[in-house]
Amino acid sequence: MPSFRIVVLERARSAKSGTCIEKVGTYNPRTKERVINAERVMYWLGKGAQATDTVHNMLISAGVIAGKKINVLPKKTVPVAESTVSNPTTPSADVPSEPVAA
């Protein structure tokens, strides 16, 4: 069963190394259960810590901070239209296919 920790890390440390400064909450995506220590989150945000976009949205939903949610979904890319350059192997409408007699 998946469960995620909400932690405070230094920028220089890797998130995968497992060394965190403080654990401030947990999140279980299956049951949508959130346990957040709001007092410690506000302390770290006051010290200059920055929440990731997903944690920022979670803190807004939990009522810990006020603000507008951030779109975390990837932006859609518009497919590039094919070039309108005519194929050089097909005759063009401007060029006659047979020589014109004068």
Average pLDDT over residues 15-35: 86
Residue 78 lies in a domain: no
Average pLDDT over residues 82-86: 61
Domain count within the chain: 1
Q: pLDDT over 90 for what percent of the chain?
A: 27
DSSP string, the chain: ---EEEEE--TTS-GGG---SEEEEEEETTTTEEEE-HHHHHHHHHTT----HHHHHHHHHHTSS-S-----SPPPPPPPPPP-PPPTTSPPSSS-SSPPP-
**Structure tokens that stand for 11 in this block:** 């920028």
Residue 50 lies in a domain: yes
pLDDT score at 26: 92
Residue 23 lies in a domain: yes
pLDDT at 37 over 90: yes
- Domain that residue 26 falls in: 4-11+19-62
Residue 32 lies in a domain: yes
Residue 77 lies in a domain: no
Residue 88 lies in a domain: no
